[in-house]
Every structure is written in C-alpha cells, then in structure tokens.
DNA sequence: ATTGGAAATATAAACGATTACATTTTGTCG
DNA sequence: CGACAAAATGTAATCGTTTATATTTCCAAT
C-alpha cells in the first residue's frame, strides 16, 4: 500500500511488526508497559525504515509545542548601532543548551516593553510555546506578572521584585559595582560617573543603589549629574563623556554598564582631548571580551555571555519540567580583569 | 458541553452558528466558496469567542510547519570574542520581515560546516521547516546542493557558484574592494594588506579575486604575505597587523573584511606603536556603524545589517511561495563613509 | 484443570484543522 | 411551474500521535 516514498509513521511500523499503534507508540517512548522483547522488535523496525516521530502529531495530541519563545528586544528600525549585539551569543548559548531535546528556540521580536507584554499575552493565550525567556527586566515587570498569573514556565535574564519567586539568571550587579567602586575609591577617585541603562531596568536600579551606598560609606555626596540613564549604545557613552567633561568638577572615572557604551566613552575621550589614565579612566562590564582590544585596553568585569546563556537554557527546561523556581535562580559574578591600573598619573601637562 | 474555559475551536463556532466545520473553515480563510453574509456571521462569532486558529491542527493536516529555520554558526564553545555579533541584528531583521505572517523563526545552532550539512539534511528529511536561511556560503556549497536536490526553499546570505540559480542576498564585495582599492591606490598606497575571512568562503574568494585584479591593473605585483585568511575576530586582526608590520616592506594600508578585525587591527597598531594616518591606515566593512566610535574613526563601507536582513526575510517568504529564484537575488552596495583621509601624512618623526 | 489477577497488547476515540465529495439551496430560463 | 446548473453548504475522512478503556495472554496458586 505504502508507496515506499512517503515518510514512515507509526502505522508503517505496525504493518511491519503486526503490533498495534498503541504498543508501538509506547515502545518508542520506552514505556515500561511494553515487554523488552517487543520494544526491541519495534526499535529494529523503526531503525530499518528510518522512522522519526512527526512532531505535528504529537503537538496536536498533547498540546505541547516543544518551542521555547525568546523575546528579542530590537531597536526601532534604523537605530541599530551595536545595540543588543550580545543577543547573538545569548541565543546560541540557549540553543546549545537544548541540543538533544525536542525543544527549539523560536524568536519573537518586540520593539518595546508594551509590545513585549502583548507578545507574552499572545504566547500564553494561544499556547505558542512551552516556555518563555526574556531580558530587560523591571522591578515590577508586567510580563512576569502575566506569566505568573497564567502559571506559565519562564526564565528572565535579570531580576525583579515580584512577590512570588521566579526563575532567573543575572550577573551580580551589586557585586560588580561594589567591587568597582571600592577599587576606584581606593585609587583616589572621588568623582565617579555611572553610565547606566534606562531607569526602569532592574539592573540599572541595582547598580545605582549600590553606587550610592558605596559613595555614602566613603562619605562622598551623591551628585545626580554624574549618573546617566539611557540606551547603552556607543553614541550614548560618547555623549555622556562630552557632557560630563564639561562640568565644572568633571569625573575622573567612568563606570560603564556594557562594552558598547565604554567604547563610546573612549571615543568621547578622544573627542574631548582626554587621555585615559591621565585625565580620567573608564571601567566596563563586558560580555564579549572585546574591551581587551580597545585602545587602551580597559579594566572590565568579564563574564563570557555563554555562561548565563547556557543557564537560561537549562533553567527554562527545568521550569517546563516543573522544577520549583527557587531552585532555578542564579547570580553570576564576573571576573575582574585589570587591564589598566586606573590610578591617575601625575599630569604631565 | 464546553466548560467555557477551553480554547475555542472551529467546532465552537459551528455550535454557535449552526454551520458545518467545512464552511466555517473556509469562511475563516476567506474562501470565495462561502457567501459574504455567511462569512460575516462566522467572523462575528469568531471575534466574539476570541477564536484563533490552532497551528498544530493546520500543521498536521497540511504538512506545513510555518517555521523558517536559520542556521546559526556559533563558535566552538569558549572562543566567543565578538564573533558573529551581527547575527543579532540579522535575526531581528528577518523576524521583523515575517511579522503579520504565520511564520516564525526557529534557530538551529551549528558548530561548523559539517554540522550545518547534517542539520540541513535533518530539516529536509523531517520537514522541520518550510524554508532555510544560512550564511557563510562557499563557492561549491554542500548545503546548497542538498537543498536544491530536495527542491527545498532557501535563501543564502552570500553567493555561491551553484549551477542552478538560487535565492541570495549579499553585499557587493567586488564593488567594495574595487572602490576601496582604487581609493587607496589613488592615495599613493602600494603595499595594501587584505584581512580576509576563511579561504573557503565565497566572499573571501570574491574579495581576493578583485583585490588581485586591482593590483594587476595598477601594475603592482601580488604578494601573498599581505593577505591573511582567518576567523574575523579582534584577536585575528591584531595578530595580523603585528605579523605584517614585521615584514621588511610592511603594508601602509589594511583592508579589513569586518568591524571586529578592524578593531583588532587598531589594537595591533597601538601594540606596535603605529600611528593611524602616519604609518598606515585601516579601512573596514561595517554592518553595525560601530567603526564611527573607534579611535580614530575609520573609513568604512557601511551597510546597516537590517537591510540585508529584511531582504532575507522577504526572499524566504517568496521562495516558500514558489517565486523563481532568479527574482530573489539581491546584491547590496554599502555606502562609503570617509572618516579619515587615508593619505599618509609626512612622517613627523 | 480452573481461577484470579497482573502484564501485555489491541481497539478506538480523541486532538483541530483541511478537503474530496455529496447534498442541498438558490436563481434563471423556457 | 419545473428543470437544471451553479452556488453554497454539509458529511466524513484524513493528517500522526497519544491514551482511556477493553481485551487477550500469561503465570501462579488453588
């Protein structure tokens, strides 16, 4: 009956073995209900015809999608500018974590926070995925609320202040700023600028809070003029240096929240005639180990993005499997890589 | 019967309207077979219960997957180093091009060329997607062969020398090198280095061919020592500058195939004590507009990656729709952005 | 040999859509 | 008004799985 051309199905194996669909199905899924000898027969037949299960059938019957949705925040059309470059590594890390499973990564591009919420709603409503991953968390995050209400598996890259615990991965921003500030303060810096992401973002909040904390401990008054919030592109870093440099009491150190803004800050140095290490210094947080190639190389907190990425992948699989959220929370402390001393040299003129 | 909780299906609408599944199905798909009045009734009912079609049902019945597979070449684990950062923008561009359709982007991470071929085979065999997109093409590309044999829709980012035409998007590498070389030759450069991708890649081949062509026209002998093939990371660019600088007749210009290697080359300049514009210059090709922020800013051929990305998305939809491959081929010429003059200044010592 | 019950297998009904084919309705024309 | 074709709708099978339930097989204990 079968043309031989068509893709083999469970029925093909039934015809070959004389077994019923139920038995074959169970055998293929290693159910203990089927005798080992029978399973062997089924597996042999499956191997012979090159059977592989048709996901569509499974999906329809079980309602599972075997898709993990990743919300990918993409800048409004043309303003690309090295924004979100780390996404590439993030995506590949997550995908790698799912190798050997049936799960696939499906991309959902969103332009902003509101669109992200809509997308989350759509994913929940239409069961477009079995789990969701997203970044750019806010302390009170609407997406988290939606997903928790729907009891939908998810992992965030970034923390929130949600009442109920949820799975997340993040770098230890408190630890980063604490270490960075202590180091700079030790080296005599008193005017330290913070180049931060948008104000609503959790990690910006955390960084700012710790920054203020460290200033207070050091007995230095907080100056809002030294803190910039914005989209962390090179152009933003550059602008902020140019603005802050024009202050009557300009910063001697810049702590940048990513490598893109650090690169921009360096470009701002050049534009203002500032010399790194003489007039001021820049520290960064780097996911891509790229600040090693800046001129001059910068001191950074380096966490290869593949690490959080793989964890995101593993956590979402866990969340889908019903592992308790408390057990799927990871804070990662980047390594401090001191590429420059960051003590200001005596001005040589 | 229906708890009211369950997601509405076509049957829900049948119950509401008294119509049959066939009619409702056709009405929802705007079939001309159903009377406008009937369609209105169906649409009203659908709206009322918030019906949205269950893809799994469609997929099983029609065999369509509504997935576009993107092969994402990811470096071997830890060697991340800013490799493939442009993928993020590429992915978002492609995804955006599919907004408003049923199609989703699904990611298939592959470590190398062989794994990519295996993955292509799997996608074809198991009909995991309706179309495939990949980059890093070779003149004689095994993936292209597989897909053409299977008559499977695909678009490449990069050209090949396949016998039968296929859909592709690429930047005009011949045009880029032609323009870059003419400009540098006009400015008196005679020793021009080419920082190129791996030898097997099509775009590397094209660049090299045009490079040799331009040298020959200018009556300059080709020197293999001035051409480097490798993975275009910052570290590669840096190394190559350091190696070539040590030649007895070192280059006065470096033409880098991407922004990462250009950044590395600049870093190499610093390491060797070279001053850009005095001892040598660097030109780049840039997808992310990031070379504007290098110190000094570099002259580049800039093509915002969103453009090829959107085209890739549109082309794959076309290919899936059966549009002839000849009509889905696009070469894009980047804009030359002259950020530095690139004439060597008289050495000031 | 019979019985009981566990273990293994089979039957058949889903899941939600599409679609060949059958049937009914509608409208036109003699 | 009746006949007929075209238009609209209905019936039922199907895609490939899983799974509740039924049936058979097997084995041990009586």
Note the pLDDT tens digit of each residue in A84-138.
667 888 898 899 999 989 999 999 999 889 999 999 999 999 999 999 999 999 9
Tokens 């955006």 -> residue: B96
Scanning chain A, the segments in alpha helix (DSSP H) are 10-17, 21-28, 36-49, 55-62, 86-97, 113-125, 142-149, 173-186, 202-217, 234-245, 259-272, 306-320
Q: How many CB atoms within 10 Å of residue B341? A: 11
For chain A, the average pLDDT equals: 92
Percent of chain A with pLDDT over 70: 94
> Residues with Cβ < 8 Å from A285, sequence gap 6 or more?
A171, A176, A256, A257, A258, A259, A300, A301, A302, A303, A334
Which of helix, strand or coil describes residue A165?
Answer: coil
Q: Which helix (H) or strand (E) holds B114?
A: helix B113-125
Instruction: Report CA(A54)–C1'(C19) in Å, whole number.
Output: 21
**DSSP letters of A170-189?**
EE-HHHHHHHHHHHHHHTT-
Burial of B186 (0-12, 13-18, 19+ CB in 10 A): exposed
Which residues of B are less than 8 Å from A151 in CB distance?
A: none
CA–C1' nearest nucleotide, residue B61: D15
CA B62 to chain A, closest CA, distance in angstroms equals 10
Strand D atom within 7 Å of A53 CB = yes
- The pair phi, psi for residue A118, each rounded to 5°, is -55, -45
Smallest CA-to-CA distance from B133 within B156, B159, B167 is with B156
Q: How far is B151 from chain A (nearest CA, A)?
A: 16
Question: CB distance from B81 to chain A under 8 Å?
Answer: yes
Please write the tens of the pLDDT for every residue from A33-61.
Answer: 999 999 999 999 999 999 999 999 999 99
Residue carrying the six token digits 């709206």 = B47
Distinct helix (H) and strand (E) counts, chain A:
12, 12
Q: Is B67 on the interface with A (CB under 8 A)?
A: yes
pLDDT confidence of residue A5:
65
Classify residue B138 by its DSSP letter.
Answer: -
CA neighbours closer than 13 Å in the CB half-sphere of residue A303: 22
Q: SS3 for B168?
A: strand
Q: Three-state SS for A197?
A: coil
- Whether the pLDDT of residue A4 is over 50: the answer is no
The burial of A102, by beta-carbon neighbours within 10 Å (0-12 exposed, 13-18 middle, 19 or more buried), is given as middle
Three-state DSSP state, B107:
strand
Query: CB–CB of B88 and A88 under 8 A?
Result: yes
SS3 A105: strand
In chain A, residues 30 through 49 whose Cβ sits under 7 angstroms from any atom of nucleic acid strand C: 32-35, 37-38
- Predicted pLDDT of residue B6: 79
Side-by-side strand order, sheet with B281-286:
B227-229, B192-196, B253-256, B281-286, B299-302, B335-337
Closest residue (CA) to C1' of nucleotide D14 is: B61
- DSSP-derived secondary structure letter, A280: B
Structural domains in chain A plus CATH codes: 10-53 (no CATH), 67-171+306-332 (3.40.50.2300), 173-303 (3.40.50.2300)
CB < 8 Å from A in window 255-314 of B: 260, 263-264, 266-267, 269-270, 288-290, 292-297, 304-306
pLDDT in tens, A241-283: 999 999 999 999 999 999 999 999 999 999 999 999 999 999 9
Helix or strand holding residue B260 (H, E): helix B259-272
Q: Are A73 and A133 in contact (CB under 8 A)?
A: no
Closest CA to A256 of A335, A193, A188: A193
What is the spatial distance between Cα B239 and Cα A80, in angstroms, rounded to a whole number?
A: 29
> Does A76 score more than 90 pLDDT?
no
Query: What H or E segment, with its residue span, contains residue B27?
Result: helix B21-28
Q: Which residues of B touch A238 (CB under 8 A)?
A: 293
**Residue A9: CB less than 7 A from any atom in strand D:** yes
For the record, the structure tokens of A342 come out as 């960051």
Whether B72 contacts chain A with CB within 8 A: yes
List all residues of chain B from 97 to 116 with a beta carbon under 8 Å from chain A.
99, 104-109
Residue A18 CB partners (closer than 8 Å, separation 6+): none
Q: In terms of Cα–Cα distance, which of A249, A250, A158 is closest to A197?
A: A158
* Best CA proximity match to A10, nearest among A27, A30, A31: A27
Q: How far is the CA of B33 from the C1' of C24 (A)?
A: 15
Record: contact B292-A82, CB cut-off 8 A: no
Phi then psi for residue B108, to 5 deg, are: -125, 100
Residue A1 binned pLDDT confidence (cut-offs 50, 70, 90) = very low
Cβ–Cβ of B267/A72 closer than 8 Å? Answer: no
Identify the segments of chain B with pLDDT beneath 50: 1-4, 80, 348-349
> Of the candidates A80, A125, A237, which has its C-beta nearest B304's C-beta?
A80
Largest CA distance in chain B: 91
Both structure tokens of B182: 């003419």
Per CB-CB distance under 8 Å, the chain B contacts of A99 are 109
Spell out a b/e string for B301-338, using b for 16 or more CB atoms within 10 Å of the CB, else e: bbbbbbbbbbbbbbbbbbbbeeeebeebbbeeebeebe
pLDDT tens for A165-215 read 999 999 999 999 999 999 999 999 999 999 999 999 999 999 999 999 999
Whole-number pLDDT of residue A81: 52
Report the C-alpha gap between A306 and A302 in whole angstroms: 12
Nearest by Cα to A81 from A184, A206, A234, A241 = A234
CB–CB contacts below 8 A, A to B: 184
């Amino acid at each position: 009956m079968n043309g031989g051309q068509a893709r083999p199905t469970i029925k093909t194996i039934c015809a070959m073995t004389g077994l019923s669909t139920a038995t074959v199905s169970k055998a293929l899924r290693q159910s203990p209900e089927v005798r080992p000898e029978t399973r062997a027969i089924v597996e042999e037949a499956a191997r012979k015809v090159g059977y592989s299960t048709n996901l569509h059938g499974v999906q329809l019957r079980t309602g599972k999608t075997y898709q993990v949705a990743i919300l990918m925040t993409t800048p409004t059309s043309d303003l690309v500018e090295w924004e979100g470059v780390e996404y590439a590594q993030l995506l590949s890390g997550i995908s790698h974590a799912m190798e050997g499973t049936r799960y696939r990564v499906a991309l959902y591009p969103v332009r902003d926070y509101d669109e992200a919420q809509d997308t989350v709603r759509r994913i929940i409503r239409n069961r477009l995925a079995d789990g969701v991953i997203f970044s750019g968390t806010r302390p009170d995050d609407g997406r988290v609320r939606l997903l928790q209400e729907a009891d939908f598996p998810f992992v965030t890259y970034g923390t929130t202040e949600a009442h109920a615990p949820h799975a997340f991965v993040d770098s230890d921003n408190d630890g980063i700023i604490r270490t960075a500030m202590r180091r700079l303060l030790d080296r005599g810096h008193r005017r330290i600028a913070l180049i931060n992401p948008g104000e609503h973002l959790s990690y910006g909040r955390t960084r700012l809070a710790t920054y203020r904390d460290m200033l207070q401990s050091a007995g230095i008054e907080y100056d809002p003029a030294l803190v910039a919030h914005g989209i962390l592109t090179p152009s933003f870093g550059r602008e902020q240096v140019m603005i802050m440099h024009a202050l009557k009491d300009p910063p001697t150190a810049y702590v940048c929240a990513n490598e893109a803004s650090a690169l921009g800050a360096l470009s701002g140095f050049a534009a203002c005639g500032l010399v790194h290490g003489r007039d001021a210094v820049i520290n960064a947080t780097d996911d891509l180990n790229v600040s090693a190639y800046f001129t001059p190389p910068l001191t950074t907190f380096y966490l290869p993005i593949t690490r959080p990425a793989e964890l995101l992948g593993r956590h979402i699989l866990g969340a889908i499997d019903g592992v308790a959220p408390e057990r799927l929370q990871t804070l990662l402390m980047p390594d401090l890589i001191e590429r420059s001393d960051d003590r200001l040299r005596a001005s040589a003129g």
